[in-house]
C-alpha cells in the first residue's frame, strides 16, 4: 500500500507531466500479454513518448487540480498514460499498435491543456509526421520565392537567347 507521501508525489508527477507535454493520452490495455506490453513500450520509447500507469483515483485528483475534470470520463478500468511533446507521435503509435492488438485503445486525452476525445485523437493520428508538415510549410513559403527568381532571370535569359539566335543567323549567312 502506497504511503500518503507516495500518493502526493504521484499526483504531483502526473500534473507535471501533463503540464510539460503537449499531449497526454489515456490508453486502455486490458488483456495484453507482457510481451505485447513490452513491444508497445519499446515503440513509444523509440518516438520519445513516456508511458506510465497511474492509479485512477490519483489521476482524478490531479485532473481536478488542473481544472480538467472532463477528462475523468476516460478513467474506466486499467489505464496507462502516454505523454509527449510531439502531439502526433503517441497517437500514431497507439493507433498502429491497436490495429495489431485490438485490446489496446485510446480512450481520450489532454492536448495542450484541453480534453480531447477518442475521435479527435484518431484525427491527430491521421496527420502526417511533423517533419512532413514542416516540409510542406517550407515548400509553400519557398514556391513564390522560386517564381520571383524565375521572373527576375527571364529578361536576362531571353536576351541571351536573342543574342544566340543572331549569332547563328550571321554564321549561316557567312557560310
CA-CA distance, 155 to 73, in Å (whole number)?
66
Phi first, then psi: what are they for 123, rounded to 5°?
Answer: -65, -40
CA 136 to chain centre: 15
- Contact criterion met (CB below 8 Å) for 93 and 87: no
Residue 1, pLDDT score = 67
* Binned average pLDDT, 10 residues per bin, the chain of 175 residues: 84 90 90 89 91 90 87 84 89 90 87 87 78 74 74 75 84 80
Residue 104 carries which DSSP code? Answer: -
Q: 120-130 burial, b for 16+ CB within 10 Å, e for fewer?
A: bbeebbeeeee
Which residue, among 17, 88, 86, 74, has the nearest Cα to 48 in the 3D structure? 86
Per domain, the residue ranges of the chain are: 4-127, 128-175
- How many alpha carbons fall within 13 Å on the CB side of residue 149? 5
Give the predicted TM-score (pTM) of the model.
Answer: 0.70
Specify the CATH class of 4-127 in words: alpha beta
DSSP state for residue 129 in the 8-state scheme: P
pLDDT at position 101, please?
85
- Which grid cell is 69? 475534470
Instruction: Specify the pLDDT at position 72.
Output: 82
- The count of other CB atoms within 10 Å of the CB of residue 150 is 10
Amino acid at each position: 500500500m502506497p504511503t500518503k507521501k507516495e500518493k502526493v508525489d504521484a499526483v504531483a508527477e502526473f500534473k507535471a507531466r501533463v503540464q510539460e507535454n503537449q499531449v497526454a493520452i489515456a490508453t486502455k490495455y486490458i488483456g495484453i500479454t507482457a510481451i505485447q506490453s513490452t513491444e508497445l513500450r519499446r515503440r513509444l520509447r523509440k518516438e520519445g513518448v513516456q508511458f506510465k500507469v497511474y492509479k485512477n483515483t490519483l489521476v482524478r485528483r490531479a485532473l481536478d487540480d488542473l481544472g480538467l475534470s472532463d477528462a475523468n470520463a476516460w478513467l474506466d478500468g486499467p489505464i496507462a498514460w502516454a505523454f509527449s511533446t510531439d502531439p502526433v507521435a503517441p497517437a500514431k503509435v497507439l493507433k498502429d499498435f491497436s490495429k495489431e492488438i485490438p485490446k489496446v485503445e485510446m480512450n481520450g486525452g489532454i492536448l495542450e491543456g484541453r480534453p480531447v476525445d477518442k475521435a479527435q485523437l484518431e484525427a491527430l493520428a491521421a496527420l502526417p509526421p511533423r517533419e512532413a508538415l514542416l516540409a510542406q510549410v517550407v515548400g509553400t513559403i519557398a514556391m513564390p520565392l522560386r517564381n520571383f527568381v524565375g521572373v527576375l532571370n527571364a529578361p536576362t535569359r531571353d536576351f541571351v537567347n536573342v543574342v544566340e539566335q543572331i549569332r547563328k543567323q550571321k554564321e549561316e549567312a557567312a557560310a
